[in-house]
Amino acid sequence: MRICVFLGSNKGVRPEYADAAIYFGQCLARDNIGLVYGGASVGLMGEVARATVEAGGEVIGVIPHRIAQLEIAADFIPDLRYVDTLEERENLMFELSDGFVAIPGGVGTLEEFFTALTWNILKYHNKPIGLLNTCKYYDKLMELLNFQSNEGFIPINWIDSLIVEEDVEALIHSVCVASTSYQHVGVFPH
């Protein structure tokens, strides 16, 4: 079992974000769940990877060569995979994972989250997708998705399929339980 996390290459302004990322990594290691992530050593990305490694967990990082210079590749993890493009990064992370979780982050985090959601909607996968709602970070996103549903652009069942939790352990548990029911339904589009 592996969970792919999308999260910031910055730490954000609240210490709770880093605390949640660290605890997330520790919980994954404790529960023998592998971490798949974007391969950087900085920001929340570095925090979750370090915490998982230090707790004895499996970590697979996937990073494009070009981004490795900007986000500083995490040379402290034993399985760091280099790719050429962002599309290759997403494809490999998605193939290696049984579920997805977005921890607070910026535009890149949202792009990866929406890619996972879109691919789910288009039936490229049916793996669970969760949001770690630390300090209610994703409340406004959920408001937007519900607004889009009310306006007729998103069926409500797509939103209802998201697992949104403020508690790290509850989120990991829910994603793991939901992942036992997924089946490989296709190939990834890129």
- Please report which confidence band the pLDDT of residue 182 belongs to, taking 50, 70 and 90 as the band edges: low
**Predicted pLDDT of residue 55:** 98
CB 62 within 8 A of CB 71: no
Closest CA to 133 of 147, 154, 113: 113
Hey, what are 31's tokens? 């529960």
pTM of the predicted model as reported, rounded to 2 decimal places: 0.91
Query: Is the pLDDT reported for residue 89 higher than 50?
Result: yes
Q: Whole-number mean pLDDT of the chain? A: 93
Note the pLDDT tens digit of each residue in 120-152: 888 888 899 999 999 999 999 999 999 999 999
* Distance (Å) of CA 15 to CA 4, 11, 187: 22, 8, 39
Does 185 score more than 70 pLDDT? no
Whether 70 shows a pLDDT value over 90: the answer reads no
pLDDT score of 125: 86
DSSP structure string for 59-92: EEEEEEHHHHHHHTB-TTSSEEEEESSHHHHHHH
Return the CATH number of the domain spanning residue range 2-179: 3.40.50.450
- The band of 98, judged by pLDDT with boundaries at 50, 70 and 90, is very high
As a whole number of angstroms, the distance between CA 90 and CA 88 comes to 6
Is 15 exposed, middle or buried (CB count within 10 Å of its CB: 0-12, 13-18, 19+)?
A: exposed
SS3 132: strand
